Structure 1
Amino acid sequence: MLTTRLFLHYLAQLKKLLTMAEQFDPGVGSRRLHPTMFPLLQQARTAIGFTLRSTCPLAGREIVSFSTDHDSFASVHAQLDATAAYLAAIPDADFVTPVPLVATTAGFAGLALESDEYFLMYAAPNFFFHYSMVYAIARQAGVPMGKADFDGFHHYPSGFSFESA
Protein backbone atom coordinates (compact mmCIF):
# COMPACT_ATOMS: atom_id res chain seq x y z
CA MET A 1 0.00 0.00 0.00
CA LEU A 2 1.30 3.43 -0.94
CA THR A 3 0.55 4.84 2.52
CA THR A 4 2.81 2.38 4.31
CA ARG A 5 5.48 2.48 1.57
CA LEU A 6 5.63 6.27 1.83
CA PHE A 7 6.03 6.24 5.59
CA LEU A 8 8.45 3.31 5.68
CA HIS A 9 10.69 5.12 3.20
CA TYR A 10 10.67 8.35 5.18
CA LEU A 11 11.02 6.63 8.54
CA ALA A 12 14.23 5.07 7.17
CA GLN A 13 15.38 8.55 6.12
CA LEU A 14 14.43 9.93 9.54
CA LYS A 15 16.55 7.24 11.16
CA LYS A 16 19.50 8.39 9.03
CA LEU A 17 18.90 12.06 9.87
CA LEU A 18 18.70 11.30 13.59
CA THR A 19 21.86 9.19 13.47
CA MET A 20 23.74 11.93 11.63
CA ALA A 21 22.52 14.58 14.09
CA GLU A 22 23.41 12.53 17.15
CA GLN A 23 26.87 11.68 15.83
CA PHE A 24 27.52 15.33 15.03
CA ASP A 25 26.31 16.70 18.37
CA PRO A 26 24.42 14.59 20.95
CA GLY A 27 23.04 17.84 22.43
CA VAL A 28 21.23 18.76 19.20
CA GLY A 29 18.19 16.76 20.34
CA SER A 30 17.12 19.60 22.63
CA ARG A 31 17.61 22.39 20.07
CA ARG A 32 14.64 24.31 18.65
CA LEU A 33 14.12 26.60 15.67
CA HIS A 34 12.12 28.95 17.88
CA PRO A 35 11.40 28.98 21.64
CA THR A 36 7.70 28.19 21.07
CA MET A 37 8.40 25.16 18.85
CA PHE A 38 9.18 21.56 19.78
CA PRO A 39 12.85 20.58 20.05
CA LEU A 40 14.37 18.18 17.51
CA LEU A 41 13.62 14.96 19.41
CA GLN A 42 9.98 15.92 20.02
CA GLN A 43 9.64 16.88 16.36
CA ALA A 44 10.91 13.39 15.47
CA ARG A 45 8.54 11.70 17.93
CA THR A 46 5.61 13.69 16.55
CA ALA A 47 6.52 12.81 12.94
CA ILE A 48 6.75 9.14 13.88
CA GLY A 49 3.41 9.35 15.66
CA PHE A 50 1.78 10.86 12.57
CA THR A 51 2.66 7.78 10.55
CA LEU A 52 0.46 5.76 12.92
CA ARG A 53 -2.22 8.47 13.20
CA SER A 54 -2.33 8.41 9.39
CA THR A 55 -2.15 4.72 8.66
CA CYS A 56 -4.11 3.04 11.45
CA PRO A 57 -7.49 4.67 10.73
CA LEU A 58 -7.11 4.04 7.00
CA ALA A 59 -6.44 0.36 7.72
CA GLY A 60 -9.50 0.17 10.01
CA ARG A 61 -7.36 -0.10 13.15
CA GLU A 62 -7.19 1.74 16.42
CA ILE A 63 -4.29 4.17 16.57
CA VAL A 64 -1.36 2.72 18.46
CA SER A 65 1.72 4.48 19.81
CA PHE A 66 5.20 3.29 20.62
CA SER A 67 6.26 6.60 22.15
CA THR A 68 7.82 6.83 25.58
CA ASP A 69 8.27 9.75 27.91
CA HIS A 70 12.03 9.63 27.43
CA ASP A 71 13.66 12.40 25.43
CA SER A 72 16.73 10.62 24.18
CA PHE A 73 18.00 9.54 20.81
CA ALA A 74 17.83 5.91 21.99
CA SER A 75 14.13 6.15 22.92
CA VAL A 76 13.26 7.88 19.65
CA HIS A 77 15.15 5.23 17.68
CA ALA A 78 13.23 2.53 19.59
CA GLN A 79 9.92 4.28 18.81
CA LEU A 80 10.91 4.58 15.17
CA ASP A 81 11.93 0.91 14.88
CA ALA A 82 8.75 -0.34 16.58
CA THR A 83 6.60 1.92 14.40
CA ALA A 84 8.30 0.79 11.18
CA ALA A 85 7.88 -2.88 12.15
CA TYR A 86 4.19 -2.31 12.94
CA LEU A 87 3.55 -0.48 9.66
CA ALA A 88 5.41 -3.12 7.64
CA ALA A 89 3.20 -5.83 9.15
CA ILE A 90 -0.11 -4.26 8.06
CA PRO A 91 -1.42 -6.30 5.13
CA ASP A 92 -2.46 -4.40 2.00
CA ALA A 93 -5.86 -6.10 2.29
CA ASP A 94 -6.57 -3.99 5.40
CA PHE A 95 -6.78 -0.90 3.16
CA VAL A 96 -9.34 -2.31 0.70
CA THR A 97 -12.48 -0.99 2.39
CA PRO A 98 -12.54 2.82 2.37
CA VAL A 99 -13.15 4.41 5.74
CA PRO A 100 -16.09 6.83 5.27
CA LEU A 101 -14.88 9.48 7.74
CA VAL A 102 -11.78 9.72 9.87
CA ALA A 103 -12.31 11.65 13.09
CA THR A 104 -9.29 13.30 14.70
CA THR A 105 -8.13 16.47 16.35
CA ALA A 106 -5.86 19.15 14.97
CA GLY A 107 -4.65 21.04 18.00
CA PHE A 108 -7.93 21.91 19.68
CA ALA A 109 -10.05 21.55 16.52
CA GLY A 110 -12.13 18.46 15.90
CA LEU A 111 -12.02 17.10 12.36
CA ALA A 112 -14.01 14.51 10.42
CA LEU A 113 -12.56 13.98 6.95
CA GLU A 114 -13.05 11.49 4.14
CA SER A 115 -10.16 9.03 3.79
CA ASP A 116 -8.40 10.66 0.85
CA GLU A 117 -8.84 14.15 2.25
CA TYR A 118 -7.64 12.98 5.67
CA PHE A 119 -4.47 11.48 4.26
CA LEU A 120 -3.62 14.02 1.56
CA MET A 121 -4.66 17.24 3.25
CA TYR A 122 -4.11 16.57 6.94
CA ALA A 123 -2.09 13.51 7.94
CA ALA A 124 0.71 13.44 5.34
CA PRO A 125 1.32 17.23 5.48
CA ASN A 126 1.55 17.08 9.27
CA PHE A 127 4.05 14.21 9.08
CA PHE A 128 6.17 16.15 6.59
CA PHE A 129 5.97 19.33 8.66
CA HIS A 130 7.49 17.63 11.71
CA TYR A 131 9.92 15.60 9.58
CA SER A 132 11.09 18.83 7.92
CA MET A 133 11.56 20.47 11.31
CA VAL A 134 13.97 17.67 12.31
CA TYR A 135 15.97 18.39 9.16
CA ALA A 136 15.82 22.18 9.65
CA ILE A 137 16.91 22.06 13.30
CA ALA A 138 19.78 19.71 12.44
CA ARG A 139 20.90 21.94 9.54
CA GLN A 140 20.66 25.05 11.73
CA ALA A 141 22.90 23.28 14.24
CA GLY A 142 25.48 22.67 11.51
CA VAL A 143 24.86 18.97 10.90
CA PRO A 144 26.33 18.24 7.45
CA MET A 145 23.32 16.84 5.62
CA GLY A 146 21.52 17.75 2.44
CA LYS A 147 18.55 17.05 0.22
CA ALA A 148 19.79 13.55 -0.60
CA ASP A 149 19.71 12.73 3.13
CA PHE A 150 16.23 14.26 3.41
CA ASP A 151 14.54 12.33 0.60
CA GLY A 152 16.87 9.44 -0.18
CA PHE A 153 16.54 10.03 -3.92
CA HIS A 154 18.77 12.96 -4.83
CA HIS A 155 22.46 12.49 -5.40
CA TYR A 156 25.17 15.13 -5.61
CA PRO A 157 28.91 14.74 -6.20
CA SER A 158 31.16 14.97 -3.18
CA GLY A 159 31.85 18.59 -2.32
CA PHE A 160 28.97 19.92 -4.46
CA SER A 161 27.47 23.19 -3.25
CA PHE A 162 24.66 25.32 -4.63
CA GLU A 163 26.72 28.36 -3.70
CA SER A 164 29.25 27.46 -6.39
CA ALA A 165 26.72 26.15 -8.91
Structure 2
Amino acid sequence: MSSSVNIHDVFIPLYLRALRNTSHILTKGISHSTASGVPESSVLSWRLAPDMNPLSFQVQNICNIAQNLIVVVLGTPLPNNEVKGATVVDLQARLASTIKLLENTTREQFEGRDVATVTVRELGARMEGLEYVQEYGVPNFYFHVGMVYALFRSHGAPIGKWDYLRGGN
Protein backbone atom coordinates (compact mmCIF):
# COMPACT_ATOMS: atom_id res chain seq x y z
CA MET A 1 0.00 0.00 0.00
CA SER A 2 1.37 3.38 -0.95
CA SER A 3 0.69 6.24 1.40
CA SER A 4 -0.59 9.48 -0.07
CA VAL A 5 0.66 11.64 2.80
CA ASN A 6 3.48 10.74 5.10
CA ILE A 7 2.46 12.17 8.47
CA HIS A 8 6.11 12.30 9.57
CA ASP A 9 7.13 14.51 6.65
CA VAL A 10 4.27 16.96 7.11
CA PHE A 11 3.63 17.15 10.84
CA ILE A 12 6.81 16.24 12.76
CA PRO A 13 8.61 19.42 11.55
CA LEU A 14 5.59 21.58 12.55
CA TYR A 15 5.42 20.04 16.01
CA LEU A 16 9.19 20.32 16.53
CA ARG A 17 9.21 23.99 15.58
CA ALA A 18 6.29 24.79 17.89
CA LEU A 19 7.84 22.82 20.78
CA ARG A 20 11.11 24.74 20.39
CA ASN A 21 9.22 28.03 20.15
CA THR A 22 7.24 27.16 23.30
CA SER A 23 10.52 26.51 25.11
CA HIS A 24 11.78 29.90 23.92
CA ILE A 25 8.57 31.66 25.02
CA LEU A 26 8.71 29.93 28.41
CA THR A 27 12.33 31.04 28.90
CA LYS A 28 11.67 34.62 27.81
CA GLY A 29 8.39 34.86 29.76
CA ILE A 30 9.86 33.47 32.98
CA SER A 31 12.85 35.80 32.67
CA HIS A 32 10.52 38.78 32.39
CA SER A 33 8.32 37.59 35.27
CA THR A 34 11.30 36.95 37.54
CA ALA A 35 12.72 40.39 36.74
CA SER A 36 9.29 41.83 37.60
CA GLY A 37 9.30 40.08 40.98
CA VAL A 38 6.59 37.52 40.18
CA PRO A 39 7.30 34.16 41.84
CA GLU A 40 7.57 31.15 39.54
CA SER A 41 4.75 29.39 41.39
CA SER A 42 2.43 32.30 40.58
CA VAL A 43 3.43 32.29 36.92
CA LEU A 44 2.80 28.57 36.60
CA SER A 45 -0.70 29.00 38.00
CA TRP A 46 -1.72 31.82 35.62
CA ARG A 47 -5.01 31.29 33.75
CA LEU A 48 -6.76 33.39 31.13
CA ALA A 49 -10.13 32.54 32.72
CA PRO A 50 -11.08 31.02 36.09
CA ASP A 51 -12.30 27.76 34.53
CA MET A 52 -9.19 27.35 32.37
CA ASN A 53 -6.22 25.12 33.15
CA PRO A 54 -3.05 26.90 34.34
CA LEU A 55 0.13 27.64 32.41
CA SER A 56 1.88 24.53 33.76
CA PHE A 57 -0.93 22.34 32.36
CA GLN A 58 -0.76 24.12 28.99
CA VAL A 59 2.94 23.24 28.57
CA GLN A 60 2.44 19.66 29.74
CA ASN A 61 -0.50 19.22 27.40
CA ILE A 62 1.51 20.50 24.44
CA CYS A 63 3.93 17.66 25.13
CA ASN A 64 1.12 15.12 25.60
CA ILE A 65 -0.48 16.06 22.30
CA ALA A 66 2.86 15.93 20.45
CA GLN A 67 3.55 12.51 21.95
CA ASN A 68 0.11 11.38 20.83
CA LEU A 69 1.38 11.58 17.26
CA ILE A 70 3.29 8.46 18.23
CA VAL A 71 0.81 6.91 20.66
CA VAL A 72 -2.30 7.30 18.49
CA VAL A 73 -0.94 7.26 14.95
CA LEU A 74 1.67 4.53 15.47
CA GLY A 75 -0.12 2.70 18.26
CA THR A 76 3.03 2.76 20.37
CA PRO A 77 2.62 3.16 24.13
CA LEU A 78 4.87 5.61 25.93
CA PRO A 79 5.91 5.62 29.56
CA ASN A 80 4.02 8.03 31.79
CA ASN A 81 6.23 11.10 32.07
CA GLU A 82 3.59 13.49 33.37
CA VAL A 83 5.07 16.21 35.55
CA LYS A 84 3.18 16.78 38.79
CA GLY A 85 3.78 20.00 40.71
CA ALA A 86 5.92 21.22 37.84
CA THR A 87 8.67 23.77 37.99
CA VAL A 88 9.95 25.64 34.97
CA VAL A 89 12.98 23.34 34.96
CA ASP A 90 10.63 20.33 34.89
CA LEU A 91 8.60 21.82 32.06
CA GLN A 92 11.71 22.63 30.01
CA ALA A 93 12.94 19.06 30.56
CA ARG A 94 9.57 17.75 29.40
CA LEU A 95 9.70 19.92 26.28
CA ALA A 96 13.26 18.73 25.58
CA SER A 97 12.37 15.04 26.02
CA THR A 98 9.34 15.44 23.74
CA ILE A 99 11.51 17.11 21.10
CA LYS A 100 14.02 14.26 21.33
CA LEU A 101 11.25 11.66 21.10
CA LEU A 102 9.88 13.23 17.90
CA GLU A 103 13.37 13.71 16.45
CA ASN A 104 13.97 9.98 16.91
CA THR A 105 11.01 8.96 14.75
CA THR A 106 11.49 8.04 11.12
CA ARG A 107 9.36 8.57 8.06
CA GLU A 108 9.29 4.79 7.57
CA GLN A 109 7.43 4.36 10.86
CA PHE A 110 4.63 6.54 9.47
CA GLU A 111 4.31 4.88 6.05
CA GLY A 112 0.66 4.09 5.43
CA ARG A 113 -0.44 5.47 8.80
CA ASP A 114 -2.38 8.29 7.11
CA VAL A 115 -5.01 5.79 5.98
CA ALA A 116 -4.69 3.34 8.88
CA THR A 117 -7.57 3.24 11.35
CA VAL A 118 -6.52 4.61 14.73
CA THR A 119 -8.32 4.69 18.05
CA VAL A 120 -8.59 8.05 19.78
CA ARG A 121 -9.32 7.18 23.39
CA GLU A 122 -10.19 10.70 24.58
CA LEU A 123 -12.72 11.09 21.77
CA GLY A 124 -14.02 7.55 22.03
CA ALA A 125 -13.61 7.36 18.26
CA ARG A 126 -11.89 5.51 15.48
CA MET A 127 -10.69 7.38 12.40
CA GLU A 128 -7.91 7.40 9.85
CA GLY A 129 -4.49 8.59 11.04
CA LEU A 130 -4.41 11.68 8.85
CA GLU A 131 -7.94 12.61 9.88
CA TYR A 132 -6.92 12.40 13.55
CA VAL A 133 -3.85 14.57 13.06
CA GLN A 134 -5.61 17.20 10.93
CA GLU A 135 -8.91 17.43 12.77
CA TYR A 136 -7.88 16.84 16.37
CA GLY A 137 -4.12 16.66 16.92
CA VAL A 138 -2.93 19.84 15.19
CA PRO A 139 -5.79 22.14 16.26
CA ASN A 140 -5.56 20.95 19.87
CA PHE A 141 -1.75 21.27 19.86
CA TYR A 142 -1.77 24.83 18.54
CA PHE A 143 -4.60 25.85 20.88
CA HIS A 144 -2.37 25.07 23.87
CA VAL A 145 0.75 26.59 22.26
CA GLY A 146 -1.30 29.77 21.74
CA MET A 147 -2.39 29.73 25.38
CA VAL A 148 1.22 29.74 26.61
CA TYR A 149 1.95 32.71 24.36
CA ALA A 150 -1.26 34.49 25.41
CA LEU A 151 -0.63 33.97 29.13
CA PHE A 152 2.81 35.54 29.00
CA ARG A 153 1.72 38.28 26.64
CA SER A 154 -1.26 39.16 28.87
CA HIS A 155 1.14 39.59 31.79
CA GLY A 156 3.43 41.98 29.94
CA ALA A 157 6.20 39.68 28.76
CA PRO A 158 8.07 41.28 25.86
CA ILE A 159 7.15 38.63 23.32
CA GLY A 160 5.61 39.07 19.92
CA LYS A 161 4.56 37.21 16.83
CA TRP A 162 8.16 36.35 15.89
CA ASP A 163 8.70 34.64 19.24
CA TYR A 164 5.63 32.51 18.51
CA LEU A 165 6.62 31.80 14.91
CA ARG A 166 10.40 31.61 15.09
CA GLY A 167 11.35 31.21 18.74
CA GLY A 168 15.02 31.84 19.36
CA ASN A 169 15.93 31.34 15.70
TM-score bucket (shorter structure): 0.7 to 0.9
Query: Which secondary structure does the structure 1 equivalent of 2:83 belong to?
Result: coil
> d(CA) in 2 for partners of 1:82 and 1:67?
12
Cα RMSD (Å): 1.9
1:83-109 CA deviation, whole Å, 9 max, x = no partner? 111110111110113252221244xx4
SS in 2 for 1:103: strand
5+ residue gaps, structure 1, are 154-165
Tell me which residue corresponds to 1:8.
Answer: 16
Task: Normalising by structure 1, report the TM-score.
Answer: 0.84
Task: Tell me what 1:97 maps to.
Answer: 112
Please state how far the C-alpha of 1:6 moved relative to its aligned partner: 1.1
Which residue does the alignment assign to 1:157? Answer: none
Relative to its length, the structure with more helix (as a share) is 2
* Structure 1 residue 60, shift from structure 2 partner: 4.2
What is the CA-CA distance between 1:43 and the residue it aligns to? Answer: 0.6
Q: Secondary structure at the match of 2:144?
A: helix
Mapped contact 1:43–1:133 kept (Cα < 8 A): yes
Segments of 5+ residues of structure 2 without an aligned counterpart are 1-8, 34-39
Letter in 2 for 1:2: V
Give the corresponding residue for 2:154.
140
C-alpha distance in structure 2 between counterparts of 1:141 and 1:105, whole Å: 35
Alignment partner of 1:56 out of 62, 71, 90: 71
Instruction: State TM-score, norm by structure 2.
Output: 0.82
CA distance in 1, matches of 2:85, 2:145: 19
Does the 8 Å contact 1:15/1:77 carry over to 2? yes
AA aligned to 1:81 is A
Is the aligned partner of 1:18 residue 2:26? yes
